[in-house]
Amino acid sequence: MERAPDPTTRAPADGGGLTRRRTRRSVGERAVLGFLGAAAVLSVLTTTGIVLTLVVESIPFFEHVAPKEFLTGTGWSPLAGGGSQAFGVLPLVWSTLYLTLVALAVAIPLGLGVGILLAEYASARVRRTVKPVVEVLAGVPTIVFGYFALTFLTPLLQEHLGIELQIFNGLSAGIVLGILVLPTIASVSEDAMSAVPQSLREGAFGLGAAKRQVVVRVVFPAALSGIVAALVLGASRAIGETVVILVAAGNTPSLTTDLGTAHQNMAAFIANVARSDVSAGSVAYDTIFAVGLTLFAITLALNLVAIRFVRRYRQVYE
């Protein structure tokens, strides 16, 4: 293919040189392999770096605030002045999970609906229009969703639907967060359902089942492990989302179920501290790492559960 003379084609001619050349080449090969391996190891180093950073930088924080106070306290105001600081992370965790719940309430029915439509019902023409919409939605930067929640959805809900909302509220942030994770849920669950073998569908049709029965009672259960993975992936995206919450939900975490008021999740809190003028090294600043550690632990746990769940309940088809 190339013009360059290939040493390998000449190798057999001079029998004695063969081994020598092989040795020389294998040194080069080993160097290449070393570089390739190092690149793969970088990903492990990244994880190590994340864990090290979070743990080591959290130590000063936990020297000042007892872990028990941090994990069980119900007041969170580390940026408050003077003696009124409080370091109980529960309101942040609650707001994070609550907004995720709202997001999933929007994204699960819509995402699964789109997933089922794409996998089971869509004709080639419908697929050609729906697929790009889902892909474009997935590719829109989250800051755009934040802008949309603040400048479009909140006024829409306030003025046209007459819902009592503050300018920064959990409701429109939660809904938009749901739309944000919709593509994840739709495409992962679509893949799961498309992987169900055709023979299962044909078997069900042969027994007289209607299309909807086949989809709901055969394909859906058969793809359940993949669908659960889709939901967990969606949830972990919603838990870790920063700017939508930062822009549209305000910055007061609270232990309330009222969606009309401000909320703040862990990621948005971290970003908010980073851009505030809190001086590096203070306890308030070190909350970045303590909250980051909590967030990382939650998403990691969720991901491990997803992997285990998929492994245990996966049906293997030949």
| Residues within window 221-260 making contact with another protein, judged by CB under 8 A | 233, 236-237, 239-243, 246-247
Strand ranges for 96-231 from DSSP E: none
Cβ atoms 90, 73 nearer than 8 A: yes
Tell whether residue 207 is a contact of another protein (CB under 8 A).
no
Q: Which is nearer to another protein, 163 or 256 (CB)?
A: 163
Residue 243, C-beta contacts closer than 8 angstroms, at least 6 positions apart = 142, 143, 145, 146, 268, 271
Which residues contact residue 105 at a Cβ distance below 8 angstroms, ignoring those fewer than 6 apart? 174, 178
Tokens of 221: 């259960």
**Which CB atom, from 72 or from 195, has the smaller least distance to another protein?**
195
Nearest distance, CB of residue 271 and another protein, angstroms: 5
The answer to whether 148 contacts another protein (rule: CB under 8 A) is yes
C-alpha distances out from residue 55 to 222, 269, 286, 299, Å:
41, 18, 11, 16
Residues 259-318 within binding reach of another protein (CB under 8 A): 267, 270-271, 274-275, 280, 288-289, 292, 295-296, 299-300, 302-304, 307
In the bound state with another protein, the residue whose beta carbon lies nearer, of 121 and 313, is 121
Alpha-carbon distance of 281 to 59, in angstroms, equals: 12
Candidates 71, 80, 140, 207; binder of another protein (CB under 8 A) is: 140
Give whichever of 64 and 74 is closer to another protein, judged by the CB atom. Answer: 64
Contact assessment for residue 87 and residue 76, using Cβ atoms and an 8 Å cutoff: yes
- Identify residues 98-137 at the interface with another protein (CB under 8 A): 109-114, 116-117, 121, 130, 133-134, 136-137
Cβ closer to another protein: 33 or 195? Answer: 33
Angle ∠(93,101,69) on CA atoms, nearest 5: 10
Nearer to another protein among residue 275 and residue 312 (C-beta): 275
**What is the helix (H) or strand (E) element at residue 124, kind and residue range?**
helix 124-139
What residues between 16 and 45 interact with another protein by CB under 8 A?
A: 25-26, 28-29, 32-33, 35-44
If the CB atoms of residues 112 and 224 are measured against another protein, the closer one turns out to be 112
- How far apart are CB 157 and another protein at their closest, in Å? 13
The answer to whether 235 touches 104, Cβ cutoff 8 Å, is yes
Alpha carbon 182 to its chain's center: 12
Residue of 19, 46, 74, 282 that binds another protein (CB under 8 A): 46
Q: Are 114 and 137 in contact (CB under 8 A)?
A: no
- In the complex, the smallest distance separating the C-beta of residue 311 from another protein, rounded to whole angstroms, is 11
Q: How far apart are CA 303 and CA 57, in angstroms?
A: 24
- Give the burial class of 146: count Cβ atoms within 10 A of its Cβ; 0-12 exposed, 13-18 middle, 19 or more buried: buried
Question: Using the rule CB under 8 A, is 66 a contact of another protein?
Answer: no
Q: Residues binding another protein: what is the number (CB under 8 A)?
A: 94
Q: Which of 88, 146, 250, 253 binds another protein (CB under 8 A)?
A: 146
What 3-state class would DSSP assign to 260?
Answer: coil
**Which CB atom, from 259 or from 295, has the smaller least distance to another protein?**
295
Both tokens of 207, joined, read 């027994």
Q: Which of 20, 128, 212, 314 binds another protein (CB under 8 A)?
A: 212
